[in-house]
Amino acid sequence: MRALWAAPRALPGCEVTAMVGDPKPALTTVLTTLERLRGKALVSREREGRVYVYRAMLAALEDSADRGGALTRFVEEVAPQDLTALRQALARRDTQGPAEHADDHADEPGAVEPGAGTCGGGGCR
């Protein structure tokens, strides 16, 4: 999720893989994880040429015709163990304002700039 939050655009799985710290997971592992996150309405997927690109659902929220419905679905899908973290984040937002995700994790080990992956225009290599 951090890779998608940091990205200014939707990313193919190979770029998400490149942004994950070492040891690098297999591309198939990343794609499976992205599909599971999509099933939980945490990421969206669209076709771009021959590959799918993914982005964090909150970024996709900007394109939603029913923002309230999209947010409701997201909240309904949050795992019980994540509710406390969500409440804390909302409380921080109320007191401190919105955070910039792109800067939150840029200095983590293994962080790679979006677009610096091994993807080409025709797909991942």
Structural domain count, the chain:
1
CA dist 85 and 81 (Å) reads 8
What single-letter amino acid sits at 42? L
The pLDDT value recorded for residue 39 is 84
The pLDDT value recorded for residue 103 is 43
CATH number for 32: 1.10.10
The pLDDT value recorded for residue 64 is 67
Handedness of CA 79, 81, 83, 86 (dihedral sign): negative
The pLDDT value recorded for residue 117 is 46
Beta-bridge partners for 48: 51
The pLDDT value recorded for residue 119 is 59
- Rounded to the nearest 5°, which phi and psi values hold at 99? -95, 155
Element (H, E) at 47: strand 43-48
CA dist 97 and 22 (Å) reads 32
CA dist 58 and 102 (Å) reads 13
Count of CB atoms situated within 10 Å of the CB of 29: 13
CA dist 116 and 98 (Å) reads 27
User: pLDDT tens string for the chain (125 positions)?
Assistant: 878 888 888 899 999 999 988 899 999 999 999 999 888 778 889 999 999 999 887 656 666 677 787 778 777 767 777 788 888 888 998 888 766 543 444 444 444 444 444 455 445 65
**Domain carrying residue 96:** 2-124
Render pLDDT for 38-70 as a digit per residue (tens, 0 to 9): 887 788 899 999 999 998 876 566 666 777 877
